[in-house]
């Protein structure tokens, strides 16, 4: 739960900080995609029954952060960047649900084994 909010704070800081202070690890589009994927996945794992709200939040935060860059003198908001962020967020939602599916499957197997050995 906290991980998603911390990821959002970090993304906002990196997105709105002066360009020379922006850390770079890979190609900027890969970083955007990955950052929003991690954030969305963390939100899905923290709030598994709020998928629709998470998708709306990912779209809203992507476009809002890009628009806020237009208020800074050394940054630029671009539609392509927002679309990449949304795509990453949607991939993160999918990955989060896949992880939940695997965990539920494994938990169900463990529970049935425990019931068999107890019975």
H/E run at residue 72: none
Q: What does the pLDDT look like over 25-54, one tens digit per residue?
A: 889 899 999 999 999 999 999 999 999 999
Q: What is the mean pLDDT of residues 96-115?
A: 84
How far apart are the C-alpha atoms of 115 and 119, rounded to whole Å? Answer: 6
Distance of alpha carbon 62 from alpha carbon 54, whole angstroms? 12
Report the candidate in 53, 58, 24 with the shortest Cα–Cα distance to residue 38: 58
CB neighbours (10 Å) of residue 109?
A: 10
pLDDT digits (tens, 9 = 90+) for 84-104: 999 999 999 999 999 999 999
């Amino acid at each position: 739960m906290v991980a998603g909010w911390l990821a959002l704070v970090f993304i906002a800081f990196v997105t709105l900080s002066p360009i020379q202070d922006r850390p770079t690890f890979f190609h900027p589009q890969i970083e955007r995609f990955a950052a929003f994927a991690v954030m969305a996945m963390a939100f899905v794992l923290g709030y598994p029954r709020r998928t629709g709200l998470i998708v709306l939040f990912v779209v809203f935060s992507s476009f809002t952060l890009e628009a806020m860059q237009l208020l800074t003198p050394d940054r630029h908001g671009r539609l392509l960047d927002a679309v990449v962020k949304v795509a990453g967020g949607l991939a993160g939602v999918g990955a989060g649900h896949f992880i939940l599916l695997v965990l539920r499957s494994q938990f169900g197997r463990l529970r049935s084994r425990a019931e068999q050995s107890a019975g």
